[in-house]
Amino acid sequence: MLFSETSRTIENYLWELSRCTEFYERHGVTRRLYTTAWQKAQSMIFDWMCEADLDPWIDAVGNVHGRVQGSSDQTILTGSHVDTVVDGGAYDGAYGIIAGIMALGEIKSRQISLPRSLEVVALCEEEGSRFPMTCWGSRALLGQVALENLSLQDADGVSVKEAMRSCGLDPHHIEWAPSCYYTGFIELHVEQALQLESLHCPIGVVDTIFGQERWNVSIVGESAHAGTSRLANRHDALVASSEMVLGTYRLAQQHEEKAIGTVGRLQVHNGTSNCVPGQVNFTVDLRAQSDLLREALASELRGLFKDCGRRYGVGIAIDQYSSANAVPMHLELQNLIQKSAKTHHLDTLLLDSRAGHDAQIFGTTIPTAMIFVPSHQGLSHHVNEFTNAEDLMNGEKVLRDVLERAANAMFS
């Protein structure tokens, strides 16, 4: 059988999948939805599922599935996303897919009878790195996508519809519904933070996934000559934006235990060295452990921006283009993870996830849990993203045990 239990196998397949990237000349992995690199990766995963005897198929949006059929169509799902951010790492998302194939392949090889079926999925998209949408693959599985989404465009003006057709997918079938009944989702993932590594703890059990919202902010002032315009008469969009960026940072500092805020992109329109900036666009990413706290911080931030606009004489437009509520993980599945880890003599830590995941989408509809393994130095979305071989192996062992217990109806 191809997918053995060795940690080296996990590393080998992560490395091989990382070669499916858009920019070979650059460090890091770039694999955006419906690109040639994405197609190559999903084809590779399809072949691996074949070799693991998981009878793979591809659904309407390009998710790749593999399955172990039980005595009923009630199905426990695992897996993660195949896409990456630009110049990302080799572990984010990919690890959960490869470990899921390994786990199901090993279970199927034993030819045991299971009351519930098991399925692993390479979700087509989660990151939002090409189109202004996130978690396209998981939303499709839950029937939460619509034909209107097909008109969304990437930075080059290519629509989702056009990109799907370039991959041989029919855009008009995206509202399909899966034929099986998903009764749970368990996602294995690198932590993308420092808690597990700093505490030398091999397994994290996620309690809550932070809620988040993202804004596009446009600040419109007035362009003027850098030499002749007096400071008091300026409507400087960049100075106003700078104060808003710092305000976002300071608000995050005040609430860092339970919330975080980030300005990740800032663009000065027609910026030149001898002109007062007339227009600036920037993004805000706001996350919190509870939706009440996130909403309160968002209101405070909007008030701060409004005050800056008044003082600097600039106009402000805020477009909240995405939002996801905080999602608690299923308590019975959390307990199942802890029991499975104990079986393998592995310590666990209950922790929150400040990063968004497909589990956040599934968790609004079906029982959902997440297993974390340590990330070296907490790095993720980074070329140096890394998890050591022993931790990779530990995560796969716990996932396999949890899936088998769940398929044997050890949670309701």
pTM comes to: 0.91
Q: What is the pLDDT of residue 2?
A: 52
CB 339, CB 348: distance < 8 Å: no
- State the first-to-last Cα distance of the chain, in angstroms, to the nearest integer: 32
Domain(s) of CATH 3.40.630.10: residues in the chain: 7-210+327-407
Q: Are 89 and 17 in contact (CB under 8 A)?
A: no
Residues of the chain with CATH 3.30.70.360: 211-324
Instruction: Pull the structure tokens for residue 217.
Output: 């902010």
CA–CA gap between residue 138 and residue 359 (Å, rounded): 8
Confidence (pLDDT) at 175? 84
Q: Parallel, antiparallel, or unpaired: how do β-strands 181-190 and 368-373 relate?
A: parallel
pLDDT attached to residue 321: 86
Assign residue 313 a region: left if phi > 0, alpha if psi is -120 to 50, beta otherwise?
left
Pick left, alpha or beta for residue 69 (phi over 0 → left; psi -120 to 50 → alpha; otherwise beta).
beta
pLDDT one digit per residue (tens) for the chain, 412 residues: 455 444 458 999 999 999 999 998 888 999 999 999 999 999 999 999 999 999 999 999 999 999 999 999 999 999 999 999 999 999 999 999 999 999 999 999 999 999 999 999 999 999 999 998 999 999 999 999 988 999 999 999 999 999 999 999 999 999 887 878 899 999 999 999 999 999 999 999 999 999 999 999 999 999 999 999 999 999 999 999 999 999 999 999 999 999 999 999 999 999 999 999 999 999 999 999 999 999 999 999 999 999 999 999 999 999 998 888 999 999 999 999 999 999 999 999 999 999 999 999 999 999 999 999 999 999 999 999 999 999 999 999 999 999 999 999 887 7
Angstrom distance (rounded) from CA 162 to CA 269: 29
To which CATH superfamily is domain 7-210+327-407 assigned? Answer: Zn peptidases (3.40.630.10)
The residues near 228 (Cβ < 8 Å, ≥ 6 apart) are none
**pLDDT for the residue 3:** 53
* CATH number belonging to domain 211-324: 3.30.70.360
DSSP 8-state symbol, 159: B
pLDDT of 231 reads 97
Spatial distance between the Cα atoms of 33 and 124, rounded to a whole number of angstroms? 7
pLDDT value at position 58? 97
Query: Count of CB atoms within 10 A of residue 339's CB?
Result: 15
